[in-house]
Structures are given as C-alpha cells and as structure tokens.
Amino acid sequence: MSKQVVFHIGGWSSCGFYSKASNVLASLSILFPSRLKVVDHKYGSRDEYRSWLIGTSGSGFRDTFGISKASNQTSSPFAWIESSDGGNSFVGGCDDTLAWCKDFCAPKEEGGEEKAVHVDDGHTKGHGYDYDLVVIGGGSGGMAASKEAAKFGAKVAVLDFVKPSPAGSTWGLGGTCVNVGCIPKKLMHNAALIGEILSSDTEPFGFTAPQALEKGHSWEKMREAVQNHIRGLNFNYRVTLREKEVTYLNKLGKFVDAHTLSLTDKKGKVSQITSSRFIIATGGRPSPLNCEGGELAISSDDIFSLEQNPGKTLCVGASYIALECAGFLAGIGVDTEVAVRSILLRGFDREIADKIGAHMEDHGVKFRKGVVPAKLEKNGEGKIEVTFSDGTKDVYDTVFAAIGRSADTGKLGVENINLKVNERNGKIPTKFEQTSVPNVYAIGDVMEGCPELTPVAIQAGRHLARRLFDGSTTPMDYKNICTTVFTPMEFGTVGYNEEDAKEKFGCGSYEVYHSSFNPLEWSLSEHRGKHPAFAKVIVNKDTDAVLGIHYLGPHAGEVTQGFGVAMKKGVTYNDLLDTVGIHPTSAEVLTDLTVSKSSGKSADAKGC
C-alpha cells in the first residue's frame, strides 16, 4: 500500500485561492484518509499570513526551503509536503495544489500505471477514406508508428519528403536520426575515439606508433563510409515498409481539411489522399543563425555530408549538438572553437557539464565564452570573418550553427484545420499524443514536451498505434528517460540532476553519493588520469529512492541503458548497493558509491 502523504497548506481565511485549494484538499483527505492527511495553516488576516510566510528578510517560513521558487512565493496559499525526516518539499500555490490533486486522483491501472484515453476521433470501420492512417513524416517516430499500425491490420501510408537545407543538402528515407543525426554523429564520434586510442593508448599496451597516425585522418574516406552506411539504411527502410505493407509516398503533405492532405512530389505534381486518422511526425529542423550573414553558416543538416574537411571551424551553441560535433571535429584533428552564449549543456548536471568542458578544452577544443556571432562576412579568400558580440573577430573556413531546433510545422497547413500550435517554436500540444483536432495525433520532436530523442519518438509511435488499432490504453511514459551526450568523454544520465533535485525537493531532502575514478583501460596511459571518470547518484533521504544517476566515462550509453531500466522500476540506493558488480568494469562503480557529498570526504576512489 502507498504511504500516507502529509500535505500542508497555509493561507489567509478570506483569500479565494486559499479557500479553493484547501477545500479540494479537505475533500480528498475525507475520501482517501489512508492516503492523504492535510494540515491547514489558516491565518485570520493577510498581514498575519505574510508575517508568517515572509517575516523580515530571510526569516519567513518559506525561507526554510532554500529553493528559489519557494522564496519568491508571496501569495496565498503556500503548499508543501512533509517528509518523515522532517524535511519538506515545496508544491506551490493554488494552481500547483489543484494540479497535484488532479494527479493524485488520476485513474491508475493495476500496478499504478495511468490509463491513456483519447477523445472520440470519429474513426469507424467503414469510414470510406483512402486510408485508416496516414503518417506525415518517415523519421524515427513515423516509421515506428506506421509499421506498428499495419501490424494490427490498418491500411497505412507514410509520407516522407526532405526539404533541402538552406545550404542545399538533402537525404533519403528515415528522418533526422539516420541521415543527419544520431547515426553519422556516433560514427564520427567513434572516428575521434579511434584517433585518441591510436595517439595515446597504443604504446603502453605494446604497439609502436602505427602507420595510421603518420598518414593522418582522411575526411573524404570517413564521409564516404558513413554516407554509404546511411544509404544502406535508407534502402532497408524502404524494404521493411514494403514487407509490412505500409505504402511509402515520397511526397510533401499539407492539410486541406481534417481528413484530406494535398501531396506534392519532387517535380511539383500535386495530388490528394484522404484518411480517417493522421499522425504528424514531421520532426524538427535546425534554427538558423539569426545575425547578419547568418546564411553563411551550415548546420547539422550539412556537416556530415560535407565533401571536404571543414577546416578551421567555429561551432555556435553549447548543447548536445554543438559539443558533440566540436568534440569529434577536434578529435580528428580539425582546428575547432566553440562560441558559448552562456553555459555548457544547460539542463544537465552542472558539476558534470563543467568536467566535460575542462576535458574538451584539454583535448584541443577552444571555448569563446559569453559571446554570440554578431556578423558573418565572406572575405577575399572565400573564408568567413566572424565579428562577435564583444567586438572581437576571427576568420574561419566553416561556421557551424547548432543553436536549437524548431518543429517542422510551417508548411503543414495547420491553419486549414485549426490545429493548435505553439507560436514560439511551432510545436504541437497534445494529450496522450492527441492534438486539438481529434483525428490528428502528433509524436516525436514535433510534439510539445517530448524530449528530442530517437527512442522516445519510436516508443511514443508504437504505443499510439497500439492504442489506435489494438485497444491498448497504455500511455507513453516520458519520465526518467535516459540519454547520453557523446562528447569525447561520454556522459550518460537518467533522472534528476543535482540542481533540479534541489529545486524540486529542497536542500537537505536528498543525498549525493559520488566517485571520481580511473577506468582500468585508461590506467596505463599517462594522459588519461588528468580527467578521471566520474559517477554520481542522487538519493531521496526519506524514501531511499534513487532520483538520478549520472555517469561520465567510457561507453556511457552502454553503462546507462541498464540503469535506466532500474530507474523505471523504482530502484533504491540500497538496491544499488545490494547489486553485485561486474569486475573490472567502470559500471560497477555505481553499485559501490558510499562516499556522500555531505560527508565532505574526497570523491577520489582508491585501490582496485
């Protein structure tokens, strides 16, 4: 049985928001006494309430949380949840309390899972349209959804059409991941890792300077091998669609009405198809560099298919794409600089992001911090002169912009069906992947709130197809999704980082266990020790639940995947310690993290 929640709410008696939230809570505690206890902190007047909440500077009740969100709250009500060790986690005001109540009451399937129920979309067996389902976009999500729907006997078509990048790059079937994302990126990252092994690790292991290094790196060879591999994948995708009886249309789709699409092919020929249901899986495209001469920059749509080595390169942006690309470029010997607007890897654990930066800097990546390009100009030699926001200038062969991605909904005709789209980023809001137009669904990068990751798009697509054509009610679970940043030192992560844990649960409610260690395979190579690998687990002190697992070191993706399963199953810190490690691996460190940050002891691991 789940533990009883002790929910506190403070406010002043005639405040309407406080009354509304405390009344809803009181009703729930009557209905579910074993699950919810409410402690009401009611003040007679606004002044009394504010003197309790705010006090004189820094002395109010809200300041005991040590969370900026709580410290900024001045209005009534003020709500929090008590933990058994006396710590508190901040909930918020009236809206946050009502959202919490809604979640508390949300229907749960056996095993505690939420059910995904769609608004009736009018689909019937004898609907009379050309297709049961048309999927717009044949990337990771669209391919998965179309094949899964066909498995249940649905008549399905998938459209995939690549609009050329501003620099003119195009590619085949399969979307971003296969053509201009995960696959070429990981292969080029691997090229850099091979280079590092050749230049640093061969001698202590008994090999002498190999011929490979003397010849240097050939961009052309790497590019050709990578592009051939991609072409093979494009071909396989076509074959699988045919095998699964999904109709593939290499055409650009645009809504005419909620059941009709106009299709334009490469030659500009226009036709129409109708369908009972649609899934929008059009993904996103790189945001253009928004400064004078920004059109001279290339993006991730272009870099992996460049005919020649990019030469001296400026990477603009400091998140996944910019740092991964800067990492592999420097690793294969390209003179690489990164223009960082603010911080590296926003949203990731700060301590680890800083370690990644320091490692990259030592591996030849230069960082130009606190600047953005203000102007790009071609000089007489065909190179690009960049003027930065601080007035400094430099000249590059290539400027590569990775400053975020926008949803690809601009030419989809959403206005023709009154489909709600977020004006800021073009993303489509949904509930259980159903949009504001009931027979139109959205998955993957184009969907608001969806982490922009291939496996997320695939999983969401499969779940949706099962719900639409096989009677499933299982929702896509967007929580605790693991991911890896393929910087030269790889970083795998799942769950809360330290900053988010502090913000959500408050100081003192969690413990951090950490270790800096030297992976065995690095231990013979002198240069490796300077930047040890690192592991960090964040644990809820009250429940022992693991809130986040972070690993910086070799094979981070492989290491993190299994811990992702553990997180999904609600792993506790003691479960980790009870797990027998595999020796001698780097992953075993996560089963033996005993040094807590609060102890002040060094995280440097000793011995075997």
Task: Work out which of 336, 430, 484, 487 binds ligand NDP, going by CB under 6 A.
Answer: 484
CB of 300 to ligand NDP, least distance (A): 7
457: contact with ligand FAD by CB under 6 A: yes
**Strand partners for 440:** 278
Residues 410-429 that bind ligand FAD (CB under 6 A): 412
CB of 324 to ligand FAD, least distance (A): 7
- Residue closer to ligand FAD, measured from CB, 60 or 141: 141
483: contact with ligand NDP by CB under 6 A: yes
> Phi and psi of 100, rounded to 5°?
-60, -45
Cis status of the peptide bond prior to 584, with omega within 30 of 0: yes
H and E: helices and strands count for the chain: 16, 25
346: contact with ligand NDP by CB under 6 A: yes
Sign of the alpha-carbon torsion through 443, 449, 451, 456: negative
Task: Work out which of 34, 56, 57, 342 binds ligand NDP, going by CB under 6 A.
Answer: 342
Sign of the alpha-carbon torsion through 30, 36, 39, 42: negative
SS3 122: coil
506: contact with ligand FAD by CB under 6 A: no
Q: How far apart are CA 459 and CA 482, in angstroms?
A: 13
- Residue closer to ligand FAD, measured from CB, 300 or 336: 300
Residues 160-179 that bind ligand FAD (CB under 6 A): 160-162, 175-177
**Residue 54 interacts with, from ligand FAD, ligand NDP, none (CB under 5-8 Å by kind):** none
Q: Are 435 and 279 in contact (CB under 8 A)?
A: no
The closest alpha carbon to 142, from 161, 160, 121, 164, belongs to 160
* Residues found in the chain: 608
Binding mask 271-290 for ligand NDP (x = CB under 6 A): -------------------x
Which residue among the candidates 8, 363, 531, 583 is catalytic per the annotation? Answer: 583
Q: How far apart are CA 263 and CA 243, in angstroms?
A: 24
324: contact with ligand NDP by CB under 6 A: yes
Q: Are 582 and 559 in contact (CB under 8 A)?
A: no
The closest alpha carbon to 551, from 318, 351, 361, belongs to 351
First to last CA, the chain: 42
SS3 366: strand
> Phi and psi of 143, rounded to 5°?
-65, -45
482: contact with ligand NDP by CB under 6 A: no
CB of 182 to ligand NDP, least distance (A): 7
**Residue 353 interacts with, from ligand NDP, ligand FAD, none (CB under 5-8 Å by kind):** none
In terms of Cβ atoms closer than 10 Å to its own Cβ (0-12, 13-18, 19+), residue 32 is: middle
Whether 217 sits among the annotated catalytic residues: the reply is: no
Task: Work out which of 322, 414, 571, 605 binds ligand NDP, going by CB under 6 A.
Answer: 322
Candidate segments 94-102, 116-124, 155-163, 567-575, binder of ligand FAD by CB under 6 A: 155-163
Tell me, letter by letter, the H, E, C secondary structure of 182-206.
HHHHHHHHHHHHHHHHHHHHCHHHC
Task: Work out which of 37, 127, 229, 341 binds ligand NDP, going by CB under 6 A.
Answer: 341
Candidate segments 24-32, 42-50, 477-485, 562-570, binder of ligand NDP by CB under 6 A: 477-485
**Residue 319 interacts with, from ligand FAD, ligand NDP, none (CB under 5-8 Å by kind):** ligand NDP
CB of 568 to ligand NDP, least distance (A): 18
In terms of Cβ atoms closer than 10 Å to its own Cβ (0-12, 13-18, 19+), residue 458 is: buried
Which residues of this protein are in contact with ligand FAD, per CB under 6 A? 136-142, 159-162, 175-177, 181-182, 185-186, 252-253, 281-283, 300, 321, 408, 412, 444-446, 452-455, 457
Which residues of this protein are in contact with ligand NDP, per CB under 6 A? 290, 316-322, 324, 341-343, 346, 372, 402-405, 451-453, 483-486
Which positions are annotated as active-site residues?
A: 583
